Amino acid sequence: MFNSTCQSILDTIAPLTLKKPKPAATPWLNDTTRAQRRIWRQAERRWKKDRLQISLEMLRDSQQTYQKVKSFIADHKLCCIALSYRYPGPIPRQV
């Protein structure tokens, strides 16, 4: 009796609502960046396994390439966003 009364009061005052999960916002992740990151991780695993200098150089090279690709994609996205907002008219001159 007590539990059902409390439950009905709670349902009227603060009904239970379900939140839908939102996907993580990562607009710079596409097939190109995912492939480059996969190459980087493969080089990292190879270097951890054998600890050779050539593997370390491959790791550094693939990491730099991934960072460049990611930076290029992010810059491109920001540029597209900036170009989508247009000022409605000429900028007024201050006298």
**C-beta separation of 36 from 69 below 8 A:** yes
Q: What is the pLDDT of residues 32-87, one digit of tens each?
A: 999 999 999 999 999 999 999 999 999 999 999 999 999 998 888 877 777 777 66
- The residue to which tokens 């951890």 are assigned: 48
pLDDT of residue 35: 95
Distance CA 27, CA 35 (A): 15
Ramachandran bin of 64, using left for φ above 0, alpha for ψ from -120 to 50, beta for the remaining angles: alpha
Q: pLDDT by residue (tens digit) across 74-93?
A: 888 877 777 777 666 666 66
